[in-house]
A and B are shown apart, each in its own frame.
Chain A
Amino acid sequence: MEKNLSLGEFIITRLVKASGYSAIVFVTLIFYFLLREGLPTLGEVELENLLSTRWYPIESYFGILPLISGSLIVTIGAALIAVPFGLGTAIFIAEIAPRWAREILKPLVELLGGLPSVVLGFLGILVLSPNLRILLNLPTGLTAFTGSLLLGAIAVPTVVSIAEDALDSVPRSYRDAALALGATRWQTIWRVTLPAARSGVLTAIMLGVGRAIGETMTVMMVTGNAPVLATSLSALFSPVRTMTATIAAEMGEVASGSIHYHTLFFIGMVLFIISLAVNITASSVVFRQKKRAERVLS
């Protein structure tokens, strides 16, 4: 009996361990594959060409700067939309809305988070971009701004959902204490609840931004896909092309093992590094705060 128990224990611990390690192995394998397919580019394409402003692979122009700038401009635009709206909605749901409204809004927002991005892209092409073109008097409605709006809409549910959880887990006693000192509701939210939920709110923002950087389908459909380097703010209202859209659009037609193929993987590497940097920055900020709190408590 005891032996059976310890055997069961043995199997289960090993299984848990194996699945834990396998996650690490898979990520390493993905990274290895990415490096193996992407790094040859550095030997095949001169750095000058790679860092030029022309992306025209058929004529052997492999400048990836327009793609990076396209991704950045769309993502920053999306973050500028998603963060205020997302946090505002989260604060409304967690702190202000009456209970019945909260019970409707929270699942609704999470439902929106599950909306397939291709559907949003479809709406973007059919509804948003024609109207934007007329409203802003642009030559085309397929612009970085259109992409930002839609990506913002995609990131908002993520931000709302996680930030709301973080705000909700702030002990009620903090709010009571602030209110009992004569703080207004707004002072309580801004000076007590939000700072106390800081790490969760930051995670929410980072995951929202991460969602926006990695999003492919929508941006491919609505940003116009013109690889032009953004040099001024007006680029926001002209077509751009993002890294993800480039990979998705061209990977299917490229000859395996060609320079173009390797360059697409190289773009994937750059994307990987950018999102890694975002994640590390976010978690180090959160981690540093935790460390400080622990030090103080001990």
Chain B
Amino acid sequence: MSVLVPAPAASGRTMKIQIENFSLQYQDGTETLRNINLEIVANAVTVLFGPAGGGKSSLLRCLNRLNDLADVQNRSGRILLDGQDIFDPKADVIGLRRKVGMVFARPVVLPMSIRQNLTYGLELAGENRKSRLDEAISRSLKQAALWEEVHDRLDDPAIALSGGQQQRLCLARSLALQPDVILLDEPTSGLDPISTGKVEASLQELKKDYTIILVPHSVQQAARTADYAAFFLQGELIEFGDGKTLFTTPKQKKTEDYITGRFG
């Protein structure tokens, strides 16, 4: 295996998302993202890490346009998904969100049964054939490594699951829609090490079929999971490169200081 060169020079790999000169400003005057250029490779785990307030979550929420509802003052630059500008006024936001799934820091199970949680997105999309729904349930639960634990009690209320199971249910819920891209915003911040391990292991499986963008909850997790890693500090992208290189021989002083624990 040749060493992967940092994008954009990474040839031979498909680019899933291209972020070009992207800046974002909130209404209260805080600037969260300054001139970000980033290319996300398909079928790999790209990790966005750095101290809090760096703009990682803001960027994540732009990728499925969940930030549309926030008090955004100014936005410039482009984000291309499969070559299409997602902020194009003619773009289909709902379709985009079905294509770009998201898992949040705290598991948000909807107040219904496990089955309903899984089929919710599909039903919203107008799918009501039972065979399709059942197929989606078993496929997504298996992909999220939850099938063994819940397959015999799908009609129990989802809120009765443990925290780790709830988070994997949320992952399964977005997988049920068969998205192209999965965004994960500190998905394991509230989980015990065993559940965290299960989520991380399923990510490594999932990247065969999906493009994964992860905001990890620790530098260690970033180092464990990253195929590609981007270090964010106060709204700026400091360094971007393939995971192994970035965590062993960072080029920037700030990156090195952060991953070795001198600040953060």
> A181 and B124: CB pair below 8 A?
yes
> A179 and B108: CB pair below 8 A?
no
Task: Say how far A201's CB is from chain B's closest CB, in angstroms.
Answer: 14
- Are A174 and B159 CB-contacts (below 8 A) given A179-B66, A181-B174? no
Question: B135 at interface (Cβ–Cβ under 8 A)?
Answer: no
Residues of B within 8 A of A182 (CB): 94-95, 97-98, 121, 124-125, 177
CA gap between A19 and B128 in the complex, in Å: 58
Question: B101 at interface (Cβ–Cβ under 8 A)?
Answer: yes
CA gap between A296 and B159 in the complex, in Å: 7
**Residue among A173, A178, A179, A180 facing the most chain B CB atoms (10 A cut-off):** A180
Question: A105 at interface (Cβ–Cβ under 8 A)?
Answer: no
Residues of A within 8 A of B159 (CB): 293, 296-297
Residues of B within 8 A of A192 (CB): 110
Residues of A within 8 A of B157 (CB): 296
Give chain A interface residues in 190-243, CB to chain B under 8 Å.
191-192, 195-196
- Are A180 and B111 CB-contacts (below 8 A) given A173-B106, A296-B157, A296-B159? no
- Are A181 and B121 CB-contacts (below 8 A) given A99-B71, A173-B108? yes
- Are A296 and B160 CB-contacts (below 8 A) given A174-B108, A179-B97, A182-B95? yes
Question: A35 at interface (Cβ–Cβ under 8 A)?
Answer: no
Question: B120 at interface (Cβ–Cβ under 8 A)?
Answer: yes
Q: B66 is contacted by which of A180, A191, A195, A296 (Cβ under 8 Å)?
A: A180
> A176 and B174: CB pair below 8 A?
no
> B110 and A177: CB pair below 8 A?
yes
Q: A180 is contacted by which of B95, B160, B174 (Cβ under 8 Å)?
A: B174
Give the bracket for the number of chain A residues in contact with chain B.
Answer: 20 to 34
> A177 and B71: CB pair below 8 A?
no
Q: Which residue of B lies closest to A183 (CB)?
A: B124
> A181 and B108: CB pair below 8 A?
no
- Are A196 and B108 CB-contacts (below 8 A) given A181-B120, A181-B174, A296-B160? no
Residues of A within 8 A of B102 (CB): 176, 180
CA gap between A178 and B98 in the complex, in Å: 11
Chain A to chain B contacts (Cβ below 8 Å), 18 pairs? A177-B170, A179-B66, A179-B97, A180-B66, A180-B101, A180-B174, A181-B98, A181-B120, A181-B121, A181-B173, A181-B177, A182-B95, A182-B124, A183-B121, A184-B94, A184-B124, A187-B124, A195-B111
Binding site for A on B (CB under 8 A): 64, 66, 69, 71, 94-95, 97-98, 101-102, 104, 106, 108, 110-111, 120-121, 124-125, 157, 159-160, 170, 173-174, 177
List 10 tightest A-B contacts by C-beta distance, closest first.
A181-B121, A182-B98, A180-B102, A177-B108, A182-B97, A173-B108, A296-B157, A183-B124, A296-B160, A182-B94
